[in-house]
Amino acid sequence: GEDVEQSLFLSVREGDSSVINCTYTDSSSTYLYWYKQEPGAGLQLLTYIFSNMDMKQDQRLTVLLNKKDKHLSLRIADTQTGDSAIYFCAERGNTPLVFGKGTRLSVIA
Amino acid sequence: EADIYQTPRYLVIGTGKKITLECSQTMGHDKMYWYQQDPGMELHLIHYSYGVNSTEKGDLSSESTVSRIRTEHFPLTLESARPSHTSQYLCASSAAPWRSPQETQYFGPGTRLLVL
């Protein structure tokens, strides 16, 4: 079945780059997503990438996709305290979206 | 910016009570979803709808029920609340056509439910 795996925790210092990794199993996935969840809130769409792309950049965010290894990463440059949140990777599978368990990013000032 | 609303934001209720969690969106999206999010962060799809009069059960078995009488409204009902229903409930909607490979979902702020 479809599965999306993420590491659960990441801690970085303010100003450093953060890299959040995700692996997925469905090789037919066409769109892959990154969502951000701040405390007490719903999920906010950060960015998505189409499967025929290797990289997508949007200001401080860079998404890298390795289709061969089914690996997706989200890089946040110059990480700020406001970036502290839970980040979910998701793929478009047979069910509408399959989410990973989320990576809790802690930014240390 | 997505316009999707959930009420109440917080609810504390006793065991055995009937409750309805409201979800509304003003974007005219056909697809709507309910997720249950446990304290360990994982999201579980419990119900979804592809349009008016369409409802489907999700991956996680749930004792809740849903209805979709109007496009903009997708309420979730628990007939008899139990402590095991304590969780956060997130509603989402999508404009993507059925079976579209792109499935961007927009989320409401969530309802945090505590059943005593």
* pLDDT tens, residue by residue, A39-64: 888 999 999 998 888 899 999 999 99
| Residue-level pLDDT at B41 | 81
Residue appearing with tokens 């609810």: B11
- Interface residue ranges in chain B relative to chain A, Cβ cutoff 8 Å: 6, 31, 33, 40-43, 45, 48, 58-59, 90, 92, 94, 101-110, 112
| Residue-level pLDDT at A30 | 78
Structure tokens at B39: 């304290």
Q: Which of A96, A99, A102 sits opposite B48 (nearest CB)?
A: A96
Q: For residue A95, what pLDDT band results from cuts at 50, 70 and 90?
A: low
Q: Helix or strand or coil: residue A81?
A: helix
Alpha-carbon distances, residue B38 vs A102, B48, B81 (angstroms):
12, 18, 16
| Residue-level pLDDT at B59 | 80
| Residue-level pLDDT at A92 | 81
CA A23 to chain CA centroid, Å, is: 10
Q: For residue A96, what pLDDT band results from cuts at 50, 70 and 90?
A: confident
Q: Which residue has the higher pLDDT, A73 or A98?
A: A73
Best of B36, B41, B114 to disrupt the A interface (most A CBs within 10 Å) is B41
pLDDT at A103 over 80: yes
| Residue-level pLDDT at B1 | 54
- Using a CB-CB distance cutoff of 8 angstroms, which residues of chain B are in contact with residue A45? 104-106
What is the mean pLDDT of the segment spanning A31-38? Answer: 93
Rounded Cα distance, B38 and A60, in Å? 30
Contact A86 B109 (CB under 8 A): no
Q: Under a CB-based contact definition with an 8 Å cutoff, are residues A105 and A87 in contact?
A: yes
Query: CA nearest A33 in B: which residue?
Result: B104
Percent of chain B scored above 70 by pLDDT? 95
- Using a CB-CB distance cutoff of 8 angstroms, which residues of chain B are in contact with residue A103? none
| Residue-level pLDDT at A94 | 65
pLDDT at B86 over 60: yes
- Residues B38-84: pLDDT tens digits? 876 889 999 999 999 999 998 887 889 999 999 999 999 999 999 99
The C-alpha of A47 sits at a distance from chain B's nearest C-alpha, in angstroms, of 10
Contact B41 A101 (CB under 8 A): yes
pLDDT at A3 over 90: no
Residue B36's identity, in one-letter code, is Q
What is the mean pLDDT of the segment spanning A83-104? Answer: 88
| Residue-level pLDDT at B60 | 80
What is the mean pLDDT of the segment spanning A69-85? Answer: 96
Q: For residue B102, what pLDDT band results from cuts at 50, 70 and 90?
A: confident
